[in-house]
Amino acid sequence: MTLIKSISGIRGTIGGPTGDTLNPLDIVKFTSAYATFIRKSGKSDSNTIVVGRDGRISGPMVKNIVCGTLMGMGYDVINIGYATTPTTELAVRMSHSAGGIIITASHNPRQWNALKLLNNEGEFLTKEDGNEVLRIAEAEDFNYADVDHLGKCTVDNSFDERHIQSVLKLDLVDTEAIRKAHFKVCVDSINSVGGLILPHLLDALGVEYKFLNGQCTGDFAHNPEPLEKNLGGIMNEVANGGYDLGIVVDPDVDRLAFIQEDGKMYGEEYTLVTVADYVLDHVKGATVSNLSSTRALRDVTEKHGCKYYAAAVGEVNVTTKMKEVGAVIGGEGNGGVIYPESHYGRDALVGIALFLSSLAQKGCKASELRASFPNYFIAKNRIDLQPTTDVDAILAKMKAKYSSEKDVQVTDIDGVKLDFPTKWVHMRKSNTEPIIRVYSEASTMEEADALGKQMMDEILRMV
Whether pLDDT at 431 is above 80: no
Contact 390, 463 (CB under 8 A): no
Q: What was the pLDDT predicted at 154?
A: 98
Of 6, 104, 8, 83, the residue nearest 319 (C-alpha)? 8
- Cα 264 to Cα 238: distance, rounded to the nearest angstrom: 9
pLDDT in tens, 293-351: 999 999 999 999 999 999 999 999 999 999 999 999 999 999 999 999 999 999 999 99
Q: What was the pLDDT predicted at 316?
A: 93
Q: What was the pLDDT predicted at 463?
A: 77
- Cα 246 to Cα 257: distance, rounded to the nearest angstrom: 8
Interacting residues of 325 by C-beta distance below 8 A, sequence separation 6+: 286, 288, 307, 309
Backbone φ/ψ region at 140: left (φ over 0), alpha (ψ -120 to 50), beta: left
**Torsion angle (degrees, nearest 10) of CA 133, 163, 157, 15:** -40
Q: What was the pLDDT predicted at 187?
A: 98
DSSP 272-334: HHHHHHHHHHHS---EEEETTS-THHHHHHHHTT--EEEE-SSHHHHHHHHHHHT-SEEEETT
Average confidence (pLDDT) over 156-171: 98
Average confidence (pLDDT) over 279-285: 98
Contact 45, 25 (CB under 8 A): no
- Give the neighbor-by-neighbor strand order of the sheet with 336-338: 308-311, 287-290, 329-332, 336-338
pLDDT in tens, 259-268: 999 999 999 9
Point out the residues that are catalytic. Answer: 106
- Cα 422 to Cα 178: distance, rounded to the nearest angstrom: 37
Q: Give pTM, 2 decimals.
A: 0.95
Give the number of other CB atoms < 10 A from CB of residue 169: 11
Contact 319, 329 (CB under 8 A): no
Interacting residues of 231 by C-beta distance below 8 A, sequence separation 6+: 188, 222, 248, 257, 259, 265
- Cα 412 to Cα 440: distance, rounded to the nearest angstrom: 16
Contact 197, 160 (CB under 8 A): yes
Contact 397, 427 (CB under 8 A): no
Q: What are phi and psi of 368, to 5 degrees?
A: -70, -40
Contact 9, 2 (CB under 8 A): no
pLDDT interval class at 432 (50, 70, 90): low
Contact 130, 116 (CB under 8 A): no
